[in-house]
Amino acid sequence: MKIVEKIKNMMKTEKKEGLTLEELGDFLGGYGINIDNIDNSSDLSETIYYICLKHLSDTMSKMPWELRVLTEKKGKEKIINSKMETLLNLRPNPYISSATFWGTVELNKLHHGNAYIYIEADRNGFPKYLWVLPSNQVKIWIDNKGIFGRLNALWYVWTDSRSGKQYSFEMDEIIHFKTHISFDGLSGIPIRDILKTQISSGKNSIGFLNKLYKNNMFGSKVLVHYTGELKQGAEAKIALKLENFSKTQGSGKLFQFHLGCKLNY
């Protein structure tokens, strides 16, 4: 059952006021969301973020691939090629299916900003297998001095974290997918960086509302304006009266003060 449906079912209770803050906190805590300390909750705990990534990757994994050629008579004409059809739509490599493969590619592209596919060719140069490279282990190099034999050539360098070995691939050996936003035209920006401002603002607003609810919708700071001079010890009495009304006297909406006082919060 999806998290949204679970929340709706929990809201359908006999209580008129619905879920309490403690009940909601216990429920969201099971998904890694700490409502008591929203500021320190990791962005990885944002459930909506991963729900969207899963939806997009699942959608992309179901899309079929077709080979087409542009001709003068028919325009875009579909090419029937059993080998490429099998490679793209059935079995990219011996270990995973095409649905899992393309879903993984889309997830890497969205989460890391870039997805890299290595094309393993046979002896005749025909694509044999397709392999997804770990996006966080691949760097894009431009050989502006011709160290690898080609001046200003683009290379993809993969450093395997398990073995420590480094592999370099030419541009023609890699299929590179990137997000729609790029500052250099070579690599994409992760979706989580694009949404970082919105996610942080949402977390901060929830944290602020949480503090207000705990204080009976009373702000953390209260400024009292008084037209006259306060006698010694009167400041403490005013502060004590504010605390008593905001925490212990019902909702804290009503205050009894002398004429001349003005509250800003």
Sequence-distant (≥ 6) Cβ neighbours of residue 78 within 8 angstroms = 66, 67, 68
Cβ count near 18 (within 10 Å) = 11
Please indicate, yes or no, whether residues 165 and 260 belong to a single structural domain of this protein: no
Please indicate, yes or no, whether residues 137 and 226 belong to a single structural domain of this protein: no
Q: What is the full per-residue pLDDT of the chain (265 aa) written as tens digits?
A: 455 455 555 545 444 444 555 555 565 555 555 555 544 555 445 677 788 888 889 988 888 888 888 888 888 888 887 788 889 999 999 999 999 999 999 999 999 999 999 999 998 889 999 999 999 999 998 887 777 667 778 899 999 988 889 999 999 999 999 998 888 888 999 988 877 766 666 666 766 667 666 665 555 555 666 666 667 677 677 777 766 666 554 544 445 555 555 655 5
Give CA–CA dist 193/133, Å, rounded.
Answer: 21
Please indicate, yes or no, whether residues 178 and 225 belong to a single structural domain of this protein: no
Please indicate, yes or no, whether residues 171 and 73 belong to a single structural domain of this protein: yes
Angle between helix axes 21-29 and 3-11 (nearest 10 degrees) is 160
Number of domains, the chain: 2
Whether residue 218 contacts residue 212, with contact meaning beta carbons closer than 8 Å, is answered with yes
In a domain? residue 49: no
Domain boundary among 185, 210, 239: 185
In a domain? residue 233: yes
Give CA–CA dist 228/241, Å, rounded.
Answer: 18
In a domain? residue 34: no
Domain that holds residue 126: 68-98+112-185
Whether residue 115 contacts residue 132, with contact meaning beta carbons closer than 8 Å, is answered with yes
In a domain? residue 62: no
Please indicate, yes or no, whether residues 73 and 151 belong to a single structural domain of this protein: yes
pTM: 0.59
Report the pLDDT value the prediction gives residue 262, as an integer from 0 to 100: 60
In a domain? residue 4: no
Please indicate, yes or no, whether residues 250 and 171 belong to a single structural domain of this protein: no
Report the pLDDT value the prediction gives residue 157, as an integer from 0 to 100: 92
Residue 152's nearest CA partner among 141, 165, 168, 137 is 141
In a domain? residue 170: yes
In a domain? residue 230: yes
